[in-house]
Structure 1
């Protein structure tokens, strides 16, 4: 491999403290997907009432993701795996897919989750999912975790205006300011606590926690759930 003229430049050294923080965060996030596949899951009672979802209401399988908009593993899941889930199960009428908040990383996590709930409350299910996808798309790939305020209120409002009118955006902002979306967020967090969730993304299929190690494991779990197994 040839060396460029800048090859002798010294790379900027990361603070050991920052590196430790980043590695720790990634480990916690990945805890939501990496489980021992031979563990038997019990069926949990999950309250899906008034939750945003993709798919048909009468679909036999209910899939729920507990996620955090600041989590880089959730970004990867929503950009790489959710489209496949949509193709295999949501679009075929086999499953509904829900999103519930587990906001644990920092103030950005909580602010963006509550703002998303305000979008759902004021503008409905379809717009919520557009905003949901947009937030993950806008999460920086080189996210610097020492910058605590990435998803500021101004950032969230500007992002929303990319997909809705000024009037619609102001309705959401008003709801957010009046804290009318906090109860929905609080319900998600209580549900996550009840289910003893410790990382994101965490998935459940018909009330059973996904504890496999691959998409093929997940696909098999959903197929079995569709058969009533």
Structure 2
């Protein structure tokens, strides 16, 4: 399936030029790698930019990428794999976890949700290969923070993904994310108890949940939205579907190679 390339990322200070968007994407990846260095893990030389690969195929990437140990460590520390997590799609034991850091006022986050995520669901989640875990990472102020709390509140009633998809169905900014507008979106999304939704959205638990996601992203050095970890591999921006497919294939191959190695060592 062919797909038109998407812009690389939505930085805090967006620039219309492609060069600016690419620089922001590369900066986000670099920040993630710097954060990995801070963990004390051994890291090989970085390519720096998105869409560059050290090898000609997923299996080779899994075998020769000197950063694989770091990716594994990052996957273990960021993937929650909690059964029944309302902000997750896919099996908790799926071999590959994609963690997304996103803001509801981010146009490129919406593009990923509308164009790429449905393809990933059909191709990988339905097959049990992939799990997607969403992290609220509001970077555009109070309206983004309110929308993030609202999505969490919808999740309390089992409607996170319905609300998430409705919020990203089109670009909404400012007053379009006012409390009453968010309640209207919750109604459209099928949230059954709107009074509870409003109370949860404004409660301390929602604030703490969003802050937990934010803090995780800041510790990693996330600077722009959307930012992803695919099996621990950083991927910045609303990349074309092929970039996600490649990252998933490499992460899956690495997981299989690791399992095979463990089996041999256990004999």
Is TM > 0.5 for Structure 1 vs Structure 2?
Answer: yes
Aligned to 2:111: 76
Q: Secondary structure at the match of 1:111?
A: helix
* TM-score of the pair, normalised by structure 1: 0.76
Aligned to 2:244: 218
* TM-score of the pair, normalised by structure 2: 0.66
CA contact (8 A) 2:88 2:133 kept: yes
Do structure 1's residue 106 and structure 2's residue 132 form an aligned pair? no
Aligned to 1:17: none
Deviation per residue, 1:77-118 (Å, 9 max, x gap): 110111111111111110111110111012211110011112
Distance 1:22 1:200, change over 3 A: closer
Structure 1 gap ranges (5+): 1-20
Aligned to 1:153: 179
CA deviation after TM superposition for structure 1 residue 133, in Å: 0.3
Give the RMSD, CA atoms, in angstroms. Answer: 2.8
Q: Aligned pair count? A: 199
Moved more, 68-77 or 168-177: 168-177
Q: Secondary structure at the match of 1:59?
A: coil
Deviation per residue, 1:139-163 (Å, 9 max, x gap): 25xx6xxxx3320000000111113
Do structure 1's residue 206 and structure 2's residue 231 form an aligned pair? yes
CA distance in 2 between counterparts of 1:66 and 1:192 reads 7
Q: Secondary structure at the match of 1:155?
A: helix
Distance 1:170 1:25, change over 3 A: farther
Deviation per residue, 1:33-85 (Å, 9 max, x gap): 97362587632221525561111222111111111110001111110111111
More helix by share: 2
CA deviation after TM superposition for structure 1 residue 28, in Å: 6.3
